Amino acid sequence: MTQPQTASSLMRYKDAFQFAQELPPSPVYNVKDVAKYVHERTVRRRIKKLTEIGLAQYHRGQFTVKKEVVAQPISVLEKLVPSFTAFMKARRFGKSYRMSDVNFMIKNLPKNATITLDYSAHEMTGFQSAQDLYVYVDDVEETVQFLKNNDFREGTKGSIVILPKIGSFENLTERIFLDCIAKGGRNTMDAIAIQLKHAGKITIKARFTTEMLLKVQEDLPLESLH
């Protein structure tokens, strides 16, 4: 993804980011309540855009937002666009739905494949146990066919997630850091752990709450800070 493409993608979602940043703190929002201040049609458009890139979930007039992601400065959100784009194109697979699936994929990684998120973050920090195996590949269709030929099924519950290589991987530590921010949720703490342990390799000035920073500092293994 080139710089102009990144800027164009950012502009497409900029109004949605601003909308989310201006929402008051709340675990769940009601469209009707938010529409008291913004036209309901506009609210729904903003929610749809946020949902497209995995930053919101909508169900029966209510929605949640990954505030820890949208709270990032625009300069950081711009850097997250390749991650958002890759996550939108993610394809998930499972076979036994056990650790053996992950072991199989690790033993059969495609050439030039790059592991990100859970497993890479754990290897880099020792902070959180990994849940899913996220893998960037050069040829998604070829990898998908390989998995299907080995009786893996595509769906929503598998632990193998195939991602297209989008954006720069020159600074792999920083790319994994950005992926963790973009994913949000528990991966936000992985991002903080990476920042604490690999500060010298991170050039992005991300924003995290003091509460989360202190939580990760407290729980991060002491040896991982050396």
Residue 78 lies in a domain: no
Residues 134 and 218 in one domain: yes
Residue 161 lies in a domain: yes
pLDDT of residue 186: 94
Specify the residue for token string 């991650």. 83
Residue 16 lies in a domain: yes
Specify the residue for token string 């505030």. 67
Work out the average pLDDT over 120-136: 96
Model confidence over 44-61: pLDDT tens digits?
A: 999 999 999 889 999 999
Residue 115 lies in a domain: yes
CB-based contact 175:181 (threshold 8 Å): no
pLDDT of residue 225: 54
Domain that holds residue 150: 90-225
Residues 57 and 101 in one domain: no
Rounded Cα distance between 13 and 65, Å, is 14
Q: Report helix, strand or coil for 21.
A: helix
Rounded Cα distance between 138 and 143, Å, is 9
Residues 31 and 129 in one domain: no
Model confidence over 172-219: pLDDT tens digits?
A: 999 999 999 999 999 999 999 999 999 999 999 999 999 999 999 999
Residue 70 lies in a domain: no
Model confidence over 157-176: pLDDT tens digits?
A: 999 999 999 999 999 999 99
Residues 48 and 121 in one domain: no
Model confidence over 81-120: pLDDT tens digits?
A: 899 999 999 999 999 999 999 999 999 999 999 999 999 9
Residues 29 and 134 in one domain: no
Task: Provide the mean pLDDT of the chain.
Answer: 93
Number of domains composing the chain? 2
Residue 217 lies in a domain: yes
Residues 59 and 108 in one domain: no
In CATH, what number is assigned to the domain containing residue 59? 1.10.10
pLDDT of residue 3: 57
Residues 141 and 185 in one domain: yes
CB-based contact 17:52 (threshold 8 Å): no
Residues 59 and 152 in one domain: no
Residues 116 and 193 in one domain: yes
Residues 121 and 217 in one domain: yes
Residues 53 and 95 in one domain: no
Task: Name the nearest CA neighbour of 10 among 90, 70, 92.
Answer: 70
Rounded Cα distance between 69 and 144, Å, is 29
Residues 55 and 146 in one domain: no
Residue 50 lies in a domain: yes
Residue 152 lies in a domain: yes
pTM to 2 decimals? 0.90
